[in-house]
Amino acid sequence: MKFAIMINEGPYTHQAADSAYLFARAVLAKGHEVTRVFFYHDGVNNATRLTVPPADDRHIVNRWSELAKAHDLDLVVCIAAAQRRGLMDENEAKRQGKDANNIAPGFRISGLGQLVEAGIQSDRLVVFGD
């Protein structure tokens, strides 16, 4: 079965990010496919490379990056939601005249069309968070 995952809440403020990560891991472990993980609204905060949790806490951003690398996952961050929250990749930072970028490895910025496409290409779209 093919799953697309949408995350609407940020890390450390809501269970959605942790639940989505654990769901994705479980799906992959059972031999299913994750066609895309789409980060929307405050969920885009799961993609910032500047997150530094305490040493004894889980590092949600790194978990996503590592899972994406291990399973060749497509982690897509909504460009409009990201810009509102100050998240940019290198290209967007240059375009906006900013001197830095902060997208973690394995994530990419794109539009809502990627969510629609993921929904079409998947058997199920599972949404985490409001």
Residue 124's pLDDT is 98
Q: What is the dihedral of CA 109, 10, 47, 50, to 10 degrees?
A: 130
3-state secondary structure of 97: coil
Q: Which residues participate in catalysis according to the annotation?
A: 78
Give the dihedral sign, CA 102/103/109/114: negative
Helix, strand, coil share (%) of the chain residues, nearest 5: 40, 20, 35
Residue 93's pLDDT is 93
Q: Which element (helix H / strand E) includes 114?
A: helix 113-121
Residue 73's pLDDT is 98
Residue 68's pLDDT is 98
pTM for the whole structure? 0.96
pLDDT in tens, the chain (130 residues): 999 999 999 999 899 999 999 999 999 999 999 999 999 999 999 999 999 999 999 999 999 999 999 999 999 999 999 999 999 999 999 999 999 999 999 999 999 999 999 999 999 999 999 8
Q: Which domains does the chain have, with CATH numbers?
A: 2-128 (3.40.1260.10)
Residue 122's pLDDT is 98
Interhelix angle 60-71/16-29, nearest 10 degrees: 20
